[in-house]
Amino acid sequence: MTAISSVGVVGSGTMGRGIAESALRAGLRVVLHDSSQEALSSARKRIESSLARSVEQGQLSADQASERLALLEPASAPDSLSGCQLVIEAVPEILEVKLAVLASVEGHVSRSAVIATNTSSIPITRLAQALAHRDRFLGLHFFNPVPRMPLVEVIRTVHSSEGTVAATREFVAAGLGKTALLLEDRPGFVVNALLIPFLLAAARMLDNGYAPAETIDEAMRLGCGHPMGPLELADFIGLDVVCAAADAMFGQSHDPALVVPNNLRRLVDAGHLGAKTGRGIYPHG
């Protein structure tokens, strides 16, 4: 399989936009597909602003930023993905939505194209059921903010071919310059299997009156050297994302450490999802 030079990303939200930007910065052609033209326009503006900040900081020249942005093709039609060698699904963590998107993608790409999902918690093997050719499918779990985070979890299933795995690992390592950790399809993979129970434990401490949120976060920053406290981090990730990951992992393992505390559930139900909505565990101006 030849080196991947053209990438499709389905979904232009936080993760999809970040994956697209990382590929653009690596000099790859990117088709960013979303059914919402408004979402595509917003994503392009945010990517353009991010590249402009890199110019201001001396990380890119103005010409380089323009060249990278010119590699981006925002597209609302799914057939725009037809020429992509790799398509990464990055839509919300809803099983039925992901299954429908993956089936649609397979209908628009060549047989040789690799199809990947950026799910953070849904079993990759379960998502593979959407495809007729499961040998070309695996998980590519990126971390937010994608352009800055150096890790990608590469999750294979029993169906993933060696060629698919090798080409994808090369794309992550040589193409994007990130570390590719090859993992098996287990609940939460590695990072979220450790991270989500930690975030929930902090939220449970808050629920049970151990200490205020600020104190819990300060304790972990100063006592353990964490750059962000767990409650700050939950707000940054998105409380809806944290709860969805916990629910999906609990459905697989039934581990009581993955039961979402009441305070988090109430915040999500009220639409207070963290930094992205202006309010979560903390207010965000």
Question: Active-site residues: which are they?
Answer: 120, 141, 153, 192
Q: Is 34 annotated as a binding residue?
A: yes
The pairing of strands 151-155 and 137-141 is antiparallel
Sign of CA dihedral 81, 84, 85, 90: negative
Q: Is 13 annotated as a binding residue?
A: yes
Residues 6+ apart with CB under 8 A from 14: 144, 238, 276
Q: Is 125 annotated as a binding residue?
A: no
Tokens 């505390």: give the residue.
261
- Structure token digits, residue 218: 């300060």
Cis status of the peptide bond prior to 230, with omega within 30 of 0: no
Q: Is 12 annotated as a binding residue?
A: yes
Q: What does the longest C-alpha to C-alpha distance in the chain come to?
A: 56
Q: Is 208 annotated as a binding residue?
A: no
Q: Is 14 annotated as a binding residue?
A: yes
CA dihedral of residues 89, 90, 96, 100 (deg, nearest 10): -30
Q: Is 22 annotated as a binding residue?
A: no
Q: Is 98 annotated as a binding residue?
A: yes
CB atoms within 10 A of CB 5: 15
Q: Is 45 annotated as a binding residue?
A: no
Q: Specify the DSSP class assigned to residue 110.
A: -
- Structure token digits, residue 81: 């993905």
Q: Is 262 annotated as a binding residue?
A: no
- Structure token digits, residue 199: 């975030």
Which residue numbers belong to the known binding site? Answer: 11-16, 34, 93, 98, 120, 144, 276
Q: Which residues does the annotation place in the binding site for NAD(+)?
A: 11-16, 34, 93, 98, 120, 144, 276
